[in-house]
Amino acid sequence: MASSDDQFEHVKAVILSCHEDTSAEEKINFYDTWAENYDQDVSVLEYHAPIFAAKTICSHFTGDQNTAMVLDVACGTGLVAKQLKRLGFSHFVGIDGSSAMLEMAKNTTLYQDLKLCMLGSQPLPVEQGEFDVVIIVGALSDGQVPVKVVRELCKATKPGGYTCLTTRSNKDNVVYKASLEKELGTLEDQGLWKRVQVVTVDQWERAVSHDEQGYISGVVYIYQRL
């Protein structure tokens, strides 16, 4: 049996190999091949972002969780929906660019609908103002989902509903994070939503880049649609 250190080094190598993929198609192929082992690998990484995000959105949502419609963007294997289900939510629509990830999400039986979409390259395949909660965890980072998608997420949220977004604060993501926060502020200035809470989490996940040790931090953003 491999030691915990060996397991971590394996996962680290897997994730760093993803950073070498430059095109959207290459990244989708990477996630297609990773889908089967994804949950196990991110557990080794101590990736707790789905828990942080789910608990934060639940601390603000005052509607009926059992009937609320949740759009889980970049849903992957369904880690976020699993956490939200434990907290009382029941109705989920998932979107992801990887068909293999969507197949894993389907196996959870949590989703009423799953949609294949290349975020940033294709329009979000939902109606505007359709969802009580729109949540995207783990995908807003350098080389992943472009910042421009945030506007679509905002517009998919019902007036009075909430959008929950996350990003990492590690060195490799500093420029992206600044661009993301600028876009979040622009939408607020335009009167589309208001900021409710920004939560910094010190131990987001274990660091995998060559120049960082220990844990990296991350951020959860909560906005309410106006």
Check: CB of residue 73 under 8 Å from CB of residue 95. yes
- What pLDDT sits at residue 26? 87
Check: CB of residue 151 under 8 Å from CB of residue 184. no
Closest CA to 75 of 158, 138, 118: 138
Q: List pLDDT tens digits, range 35-89.
A: 999 999 999 999 999 999 999 999 999 999 999 999 999 999 999 999 999 999 9
- What pLDDT sits at residue 71? 98
- What pLDDT sits at residue 2? 61
pLDDT beneath 70, residues of the chain: 1-3, 20-21
| Rounded-to-integer distance, Cα 94 and Cα 19, Å | 24
Closest CA to 24 of 13, 32, 16: 32
Instruction: List strand residue ranges (DSSP E) for 68-189, in order.
Output: 69-73, 91-96, 111-116, 131-136, 157-168
Residue 96 CA, chain-centre distance (Å), reads 10
Domain boundaries, the chain: 47-225
CATH code that applies to domain 47-225: 3.40.50.150
- H helices within 45-161, ranges in order? 49-58, 79-86, 99-107, 149-156
Closest CA to 74 of 13, 132, 153: 153
Residue 86 CA, chain-centre distance (Å), reads 18
